[in-house]
Amino acid sequence: MAFKEGIDLNSIAYFNGKFMPLREASINIMTHAFQYGTGIFEGIRGYWNENEKQMYIFRMKEHYERLSQNAKLLRLELDKSADELCQITVELMQKNNPNCDMYIRPNVYKAGIIVGPSLLNTNGKNPTAFSLCTMPMGEYVDISKGLHVCVSSWTRVEDNAIPARGKIQGSYVNTAFAKTDALLNGFDDAIVLSGDGHVSEGSAMNLFMVRNGKLITTQVTDNILEGITRDTIIELAKKELSVETEIRQIDRTELYICDEVFFCGTGAQVSPVTMIDHRAVGNGKTGQISKQLQEIYFNVVKGKNTKYKKWCTGVF
């Protein structure tokens, strides 16, 4: 049976070391992560290949390696390796047995029932917990047309305040401000700037632009998530299109005079941007490089390009 997009509370989740119905996987309202946002999460995609009747999870191990690395930022004591987390994820997907594109959401978080924001696990009172759930997911944004976005008045959180590279639960209030304002003002999404006025990324996705046939993206030191899709695009552009990527600071006004812009990320995938602040990007249509990378990307994530099958973990 094909899943409908949305959260099925009868689906199976992994919680407190056990597989159980999602509706039973609940935390106490005094849980530290709920009170203070002290958790790290990941977003991972599973793509259904209809011809092969196979679910491919894209770059799963890299996501869990990033989760383990970022857990250190919050002194989270994750007791499972990336390989073990991959095994749990495959088993969970098998139990839910989907036949559509899926979204996978792991969380590692402070599970203490205590008052006070300290990250220390003093006397075992603020332990670390891990949860995992899956759900059907289509397009995070409409990738069939070019997006009309704005440059947000909200700046990206600084590394010395709440590091954007961390995928820290509480930091996504910053994303919520930018995204919500953009939607209320009639835009599809937002671009956020760093504190010094340089381009950082989209509300919850990395950004690339094209100038004179060259792909350009922001530095990891410009308060961005060190994106796995971003890394994928850089490699695919070089190997498949012979297009090099320049990694540097981007000025806001470059967005208004460049040839192409697109977002990328697990949710956004490859999403062309055709207008920024009511100004057409290039000719106002999806650019050639964006279109080519979008097509290449979807062939890769669905396991159709054998050169990159190493990135795709089959579930069945």
Where are the domains positioned within the chain? 12-136, 147-301
Query: Which residue out of 167, 214, 304, 307 is catalytically annotated?
Result: 167
Q: Which residues pair with 159 in a beta bridge?
A: none
Angle at 83 between CA 82 and CA 86, to 5 degrees: 90
Token output for 108 = 């590692």
* Whether the predicted pLDDT of 6 surpasses 90: no
pLDDT at 142 over 80: no
Torsion from C-alpha of 145, 148, 158, 180, nearest 10 degrees: -100
Instruction: Measure the CA–CA gap between 146 and 188, rounded to whole angstroms.
Output: 10
Catalytic site residue 167? Answer: yes
Residue 2, pLDDT > 90, answer no
* Model pLDDT for residues 290-310, shown as the tens digit of each residue: 999 999 999 999 999 999 999
Sign of CA dihedral 137, 143, 148, 153: positive
**Tens digits of residue pLDDT in 241-274:** 999 999 999 999 999 999 999 999 999 999 999 9
Q: What is the mean pLDDT of residues 84-89?
A: 98
Task: Collapse the DSSP code of 148 into the 3-class scheme (helix H, G, I; strand E, B; otherwise coil) and give the result.
Answer: strand
Answer whether 107's CB lies under 8 Å from 39's CB. yes
Alpha helices (H) along 136-287: 172-184, 228-241, 254-257
Helix, strand, coil proportions of the chain in percent (round to 5)?
30, 30, 40
Instruction: Calculate the dihedral angle through the C-alpha atoms of 298, 301, 303, 309, rounding to the nearest 10 degrees.
Output: 130
Does CATH place domain 12-136 in 3.30.470.10? Answer: yes
User: Does residue 163 sit in helix, strand or coil?
Assistant: coil
pLDDT in tens, 31-48: 999 999 999 999 999 999
Give the per-residue pLDDT at 83.
98
The pTM score is 0.95
Q: What are phi and psi of 185, to 5 degrees?
A: -95, 10
Q: Which amino acid is at 50?
A: E
Reply yes or no on whether the pLDDT at 73 is more than 70: yes
The contacts found for 75-78 with CB under 8 angstroms, 24 or more apart, are 75/119, 75/120, 75/121, 76/39, 76/40, 76/108, 76/109, 76/110, 76/128, 77/121, 77/127, 77/128, 78/108, 78/128, 78/130
The partner residues of 236 in beta bridges, in order of sequence, read none
Query: What percentage of the chain has pLDDT greater than the value 70?
Result: 98
Pick from 170, 168, 188: which is nearest to 178 by CA? 188
Tell which CATH architecture fits domain 147-301: Alpha-Beta Barrel (3.20)
pLDDT, averaged across the chain:
96
12-136 and 147-301 agree in CATH topology: no
